[in-house]
Every structure is written in structure tokens, then in C-alpha cells.
């Protein structure tokens, strides 16, 4: 089995700062609350809001990493 070759990363390359789990959960919580407010503060959709917020935050993070 050959070792995988990697491309060296140039010095000075900017990467987004790592996000801790608690920061990530806070971003998701805030977005879920925004969705709750947009829906007129209607109870009973907590899981829907959380899952949508989780997806949106993950997509936003993936775009930032690939940019």
C-alpha cells in the first residue's frame, strides 16, 4: 500500500478559525430561535427548527472552508 501523497500548504494560507462544539451549538441554537420567531413563535416545531438550523449552519461552515 502506497502512502498517500499530500500537497504542501503554503505558509500564510488563511483558514477559518476552528469552532468549538459549544460555539457550534450556540450558532445552531440562535438560528433555531430565529426560525421559531419567523414562524410566529408557534410551539410544536422545535425539532424541525433545530434540524433546519443545524443543516444551515453546517452548509455555511462547509462553504467557508471550501472558499
Q: Where are the domains of the chain?
A: 21-66
Q: Residue 48: its pLDDT value, please?
A: 98
Reading the chain (67 residues) residue by residue, the pLDDT tens digits are: 566 666 555 555 555 566 688 999 999 999 999 999 999 999 999 999 999 999 999 999 998 888 7
Any residues with CB less than 8 A from the CB of 3 and at least 6 apart, and which?
none
Which uninterrupted H or E stretch holds 48?
A: helix 46-66
Q: In terms of pTM, does the model score above 0.85?
A: no
Q: What is the pLDDT of residue 64?
A: 87
Amino acid at each position: 500500500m502506497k502512502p498517500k501523497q499530500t500537497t504542501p500548504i503554503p505558509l500564510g494560507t488563511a483558514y477559518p478559525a476552528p469552532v468549538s462544539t459549544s460555539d457550534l451549538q450556540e450558532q445552531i441554537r440562535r438560528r433555531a430561535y430565529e426560525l421559531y420567531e419567523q414562524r410566529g413563535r408557534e410551539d410544536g416545531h422545535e425539532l424541525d427548527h433545530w434540524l433546519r438550523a443545524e443543516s444551515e449552519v453546517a452548509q455555511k461552515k462547509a462553504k467557508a472552508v471550501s472558499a
